[in-house]
């Protein structure tokens, strides 16, 4: 693909490792502006791995103002777009042109985390898809109280791997990212540097696994509920609340976290209401825009 030009602004395929420093600069400026990491964990892992198919950059050489990370997920093209600094709007438009030129004839899922990127995608005719919200609250929180006949226990390696997969694949059946986990998927997550083998919990009802709470510790005293899973057969009994509070209790008491956070799909209104009742407030949104090419 040739470069796309406009007032000295161009978009081209990213070249790693040559562009790594410039890309990291864009991501750092965006994080400083927003107060949050600019890319999702999956995109960050792909970028760190040095994939040769990492996406596009926009801006004059040495002064890159935008980065669009590209990956394939279950046959679909997924892009996460980040722009920062002067000319951010132009950078977003040039990146959109590059995406359209290369992915002609398909629908691309583009994730936007800031108003400039969202506006550029709307201007290009993209439709709103999923909307993920980050919610958080101070820690500690209330003590967990599991439903009657339910026990919440620390995860036992490797004995409970099968039980976790049963819970997760039942709870997330049909989910675009979290469904269809295998032992290999679990092992890949457990091998990531942040993984804490003491921060994973399972809920049992009469010996049957019915729920899970998986935590993750971030710098700066932030603790995340990385995944919360309740099997449909166990829903509506207060198990989700108990699992969230179990994770928060661990993060506060064992890991010293002072802020608890998680991501939720805005369309899952029951879950969002639960988190709000637990004192969590929305602090950020990531919007999936569906771009026809």
Tell me what pLDDT residue 15 has. Answer: 85
4-131 belongs to which CATH class? alpha beta
Tell me what pLDDT residue 2 has. Answer: 43
- Domain ranges in the chain are 4-131, 140-257
Mean pLDDT of the residues in the chain: 91
* 37 burial type by CB count under 10 A (0-12 exposed, 13-18 middle, 19+ buried): middle
Q: How far, CA to CA in Å, does 230 sit from each of 50, 67, 198, 236, 243?
A: 35, 36, 20, 10, 9
Q: Do 4-131 and 140-257 show the same overall fold?
A: yes
Mean pLDDT for 161-167 is: 97
Q: How far, CA to CA in Å, does 10 sit from each of 5, 79, 83, 175?
A: 4, 18, 13, 36
Tell me what pLDDT residue 230 has. Answer: 97
Select from 241, 151, 251, 273 the least CA-distant residue to 200.
Answer: 251
Instruction: Name the 3-class secondary structure at 39.
Output: coil
Q: Up-side HSE of residue 98: CA atoms within 13 Å toward CB?
A: 30
Q: What whole-number percentage of the chain has pLDDT above 70?
A: 95
Q: Is the peptide bond prior to 158 cis by the omega test (within 30 degrees of 0)?
A: yes
For 15-73, the pLDDT digits (tens) are 888 888 889 999 999 999 888 889 999 888 888 877 556 899 998 766 789 999 998 88
CATH assignment of 140-257, among 3.30.70.20, 3.40.630.30, 3.30.1490.20, 3.40.50.300:
3.40.630.30
For 114-126, the pLDDT digits (tens) are 999 999 999 999 9
Q: What whole-number percentage of the chain has pLDDT above 90?
A: 74
Q: Work out the pLDDT band at 233, boundaries 50, 70, 90.
A: very high
What is the pTM for the complete model shown?
0.89
Instruction: Please give the helix or strand (H or E) that residue 271 lies within, else none.
Output: helix 269-277
For 236-276, the pLDDT digits (tens) are 999 999 999 999 999 999 999 999 999 999 999 999 999 99
Q: Taking 90 as the threshold, does the pLDDT of residue 9 lie above it? A: no
């Amino acid at each position: 693909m040739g470069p796309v030009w406009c007032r000295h602004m161009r978009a081209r395929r990213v070249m790693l490792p040559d562009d790594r420093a410039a890309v990291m600069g864009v991501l750092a400026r965006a994080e400083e502006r927003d107060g949050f990491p600019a890319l999702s964990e999956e995109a960050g892992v792909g970028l760190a791995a040095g994939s040769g198919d990492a996406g596009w950059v926009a801006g004059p050489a040495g002064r890159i103002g935008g980065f669009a990370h590209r990956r394939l997920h279950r046959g679909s093209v997924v892009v996460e777009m980040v722009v920062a600094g002067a000319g951010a709007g132009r950078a977003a438009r040039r990146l959109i042109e590059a995406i359209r030129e290369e992915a002609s004839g398909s629908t691309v899922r583009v994730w936007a985390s800031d108003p400039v990127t969202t506006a550029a995608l709307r201007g290009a005719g993209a439709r709103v898809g999923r909307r993920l919200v980050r919610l958080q609250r101070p820690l500690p929180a209330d003590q967990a109280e599991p439903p009657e006949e339910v026990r919440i226990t620390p995860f036992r390696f490797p004995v409970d791997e099968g039980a976790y997969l049963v819970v997760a694949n039942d709870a997330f059946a049909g989910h675009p990212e979290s469904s269809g986990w295998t032992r290999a998927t679990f092992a890949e997550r457990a091998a990531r540097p942040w993984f804490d083998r003491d921060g994973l919990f399972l809920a049992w009802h009469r010996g049957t696994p019915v729920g899970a709470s998986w935590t993750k510790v971030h710098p700066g005293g932030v603790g995340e509920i990385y995944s919360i899973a309740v099997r449909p057969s166990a829903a509506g009994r207060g198990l989700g609340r108990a699992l969230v509070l179990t994770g928060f209790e661990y993060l506060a008491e064992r890991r010293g976290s002072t802020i608890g956070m998680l991501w939720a799909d805005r369309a899952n209104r029951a879950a969002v209401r639960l988190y709000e009742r637990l004192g969590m407030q929305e602090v950020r949104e990531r919007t999936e825009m569906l771009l026809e090419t």
